[in-house]
Chain A
Amino acid sequence: MELSASRGSRRSRRSGWRVLLCVYSALVFVFLMMPLFIVFPISFSSASYLQFPPPGWSLRWYAAYFNDPVWIDATFRSVRIAVSATLLATLLGTLLAFSIVRGTYPGKELVNQITAMPLIVPTIIYSVAVYGLFGTLRLIGDWRGIVLGHTVHAIPYVVVVMIAALRTFDFSLEQAAMGLGASRMRAIWRVTLPQIRPALVSAVFLAFISSFDELVIAMFLGGANMTLPKKMFDNIVNAIDPTIAAVSVMQILVVSLALILSARFGAGARPAL
């Protein structure tokens, strides 16, 4: 009798904590989502400067984006750079992950450390370092230079995701394929890769976003050739007109779509940090 009473009060106290936890978490989620929601009404504003709440509604800032060749150029340049960097980083990062998970050679720990380094070395330092090197190689202003920089930046993300996937992969399947007469490469291509496809999708998504959204490396290496983040940065610094809100809304929608697709076909977009 007494026991159940104390248990009951404990349970009600626990559910009190539970409510508090939910309210606290909800407030944190509001904090996280607030900036995303606020750009929607502003992007449809009819005012020619930042005003909230908007005095009227229009699509003029979307028109401003699509009619300005500088914005469009910057967008295409960013897409081209991000696609190239993603391909390179996915290839190199997957090779590294294979090597780290499978290998038993001496110095593997060092390979592991080198791979993680671009995450630990602050981007500003890497940007300055590579800016100095590319300056002497006359690669500043060349979009391919930015691709190389972004590839270095993206490799650790790919490696982290692929290592996690390869660790849980059942190697006996690959051995079975080889036992049945497949060559090593053929076994990897036909058996292993299809199995780790979800992780590959996530890695591609991570690498793409990390390049598409990257500003600091691109700012140093880009010269006069602006990427989309650089154009947005300049726009924020020089004149806050709501074109950037329209760009923001489109980016949020694209990212949401990509998240849905990657949750559907990938292993989720949560980096295994």
Chain B
Amino acid sequence: MTIAPVGTALRHPGRARSANAGPLLFAALPLAFLFVLFLFPVFRLMLLSVEGGTLEFYEKALTDGLYVKVLLGTLEIGVYVSAACLVLGYPVAHFLATAPRRWAVVGFIFLLLPFWTSLLVRTYAWMVLLGRNGVINRLLLEAGLVTEPLPLLYNMAGVLIGMVHVLLPFMVFPIYSIMHRVDAGLLLAAEGLGASGWQIFRRVYLPLTLPGVLAGTTLVFILSIGFYITPALLGGGRVLMIAVLIEKQVREFLDWGFAAALSMVLLAAALIVYAAFRRLMRSDLQWS
């Protein structure tokens, strides 16, 4: 990559500069676009949250019992969803990375088809499945496993099921892409040196695949705390997540200052998790 500018510079000394400035020019138009339509509006929202030079909106968001409950509840849901996705996703990623090619392809289809299916379609389908007279309750009743329909919809259970369904692929892909690159020879070496199956997993495989786990967990957590559609539909108004709250503040109560403050709190949470992830990854790279 560095050979090109050097070679060009030798033949055309005057053009050495343009070989470097060119790529920046490529970025000028898209960067201008992102500045005007992304950074500027978000910055403007940040200003709205401190309009009038007071921090009263932040005070309300961070001390009022109701809003604190929603904030903590949102983070709690994020933790549950990340944990569930990890428990479901790690073995599946391992299956995809180690299965014979034909089975791995089938597995990928089962992962990608729902991934690319409209979120609204999937949410609707879960309402059909989880409702009081839904498919799952009908099956359970007919099988005699329960005597009364289980409350699966319009509560926390419904929201968690729907969110895990949406976010699971975001956990599997990063873990898979790391597992795919793990040198099988290392596992054989550990086995040859007498390690038990558990030891191989604990001491070799898990540390090697940890970057994927971190990437997947970070991604799922950040996406989950900003969720709107699934809690709005499957929560039935009983599961208030911060995104639903922000939408209500803007569109129903027209309380821009408070909505902006809530947005900044959510943004801070997302950025802190992202920054922690980047730091961990960096120290992890240095360590190995």
Contact = CB atoms under 8 A, between A and B. Distances in A.
Contacts of A21: 91, 94-95
Interface stretch (B32-40, B61-69, B202-210): B32-40
B60 interface: no
Interface string B227-245: 0110001000000000100
Contacts of A36: 113-114, 117, 121-122, 125
Interface in A201-246: 209, 212-213, 215-216, 220, 229, 232-233, 236-237, 240, 244-245
A165 interface: no
A33 B113 contact: yes
A171 B1 contact: yes
Contacts of B184: none
Given A99-B27, A103-B23, A120-B270, A35 B165 contact: yes
A186 to B, nearest CB: 14
A62 interface: no
B123 interface: yes
Contacts of B177: 272
B173 to A, nearest CB: 5
A218 to B, nearest CB: 11
B37 A42 contact: no
Given A25-B92, A34-B129, A103-B23, A133 B40 contact: yes
Contacts of A47: none
Given A31-B165, A32-B168, A248 B22 contact: no
Contact of B20 (A104, A132, A213): A104
B106 to A, nearest CB: 9
Nearest to B269: A122
Interface in B232-262: 233, 243, 246-247, 250-251, 256, 259-260
A48 interface: no
A32 B40 CA distance: 38
A195 to B, nearest CB: 16
B195 to A, nearest CB: 11
A52 B112 CA distance: 27
B41 A133 contact: yes
A177 B1 CA distance: 16
Contacts of B250: 128, 131, 220
B281 interface: no
Contacts, number: 260
A120 B271 contact: yes
By secondary structure, the B interface counts as helix
Contact of B118 (A32, A121, A248): A248
B91 A38 contact: no
A255 interface: yes
A52 B22 CA distance: 61
B27 A125 contact: no
Contact of A39 (B31, B34, B125): B125
A215 B26 contact: no
A41 B68 CA distance: 43
A175 interface: yes
Contact of A255 (B34, B117, B223, B246): B117
A253 to B, nearest CB: 10
A114 B39 CA distance: 9
A193 interface: no
A17 B125 CA distance: 33
Contacts of B5: 104
Interface of A: 10, 13-14, 17, 21-22, 24-25, 28-29, 31-36, 38-39, 42, 50, 52, 92-93, 95-96, 98-100, 102-105, 111, 114-115, 117-118, 120-126, 128-133, 148-149, 151-152, 155, 171, 175, 184, 209, 212-213, 215-216, 220, 229, 232-233, 236-237, 240, 244-245, 247-248, 251-252, 255-256, 258-259, 269-273
Please list the 4 inter-chain residue pairs (A to B) with the smallest Cβ-Cβ separation, ordered nearest first.
A122-B226, A103-B23, A35-B125, A99-B27
Given A33-B110, A255-B113, 11 more contacts: A25-B92, A29-B92, A95-B29, A96-B31, A99-B25, A102-B26, A128-B263, A152-B38, A209-B116, A233-B120, A259-B112
Interface of B: 1-2, 4-5, 7, 20-27, 29-31, 33-34, 37-42, 44-45, 48, 88-89, 91-92, 94-96, 99, 107-114, 116-129, 131, 133-135, 138, 165, 168, 170, 173-174, 177, 197, 215, 219, 222-223, 225-226, 228-229, 233, 243, 246-247, 250-251, 256, 259-260, 263, 266-267, 270-271, 274
